[in-house]
């Protein structure tokens, strides 16, 4: 398939190869790391909600629940932003220019 600037490279399955820069990969990695940074906090939330065998101290539960619900709210905001960013990044990668070889 010849085009104006050369031949488009294709895979074995006859699919065009897209040009993906290091910057594109770096942005994806950065967003993924931002999501992974929540691991320790989410483990703390999981421990709080999974621990049902201890005697109930209503004041302590109310205090912890309030603070953990705020943390969860921040996580949901950040998660929503990150997933939107990832979606946009992937969409941009999908429409990237195909790799061409000059002849």
pLDDT digits (tens, 9 = 90+) for 9-52: 777 787 777 778 888 889 889 999 999 999 988 888 888 777 76
Q: Tell whether 53 is covered by a domain.
A: yes
Q: Helix, strand, or coil here: 98?
A: strand
Widest Cα–Cα separation across the chain: 76
pTM of the model: 0.62
How much is the pLDDT for 3?
45
Q: pLDDT higher for 100 or 4? A: 100
Instruction: Give the total number of structural domains in the chain.
Output: 1
CA–CA dist 100, 103 (Å, integer): 10
- Type and span of the H or E element at 3: strand 2-3
Alpha carbon 73 to chain centroid, angstroms? 18
Query: What is the C-alpha R_g of the chain?
Result: 23
Domain range spanning residue 62?
7-97
First to last CA, the chain: 13
């Amino acid at each position: 398939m010849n085009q104006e600037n050369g031949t488009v490279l294709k895979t074995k399955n006859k699919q065009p190869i897209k040009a993906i820069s290091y910057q594109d990969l770096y942005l994806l990695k950065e967003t993924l790391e931002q999501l992974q940074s929540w691991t320790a906090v989410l483990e703390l939330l999981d421990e709080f909600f999974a621990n049902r065998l201890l005697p109930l101290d209503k004041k302590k539960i109310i205090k912890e629940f309030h603070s953990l619900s705020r943390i969860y709210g921040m996580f949901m905001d950040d998660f929503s932003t990150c997933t939107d960013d990832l979606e946009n990044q992937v969409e941009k990668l999908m429409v990237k220019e195909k790799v061409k070889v000059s002849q």
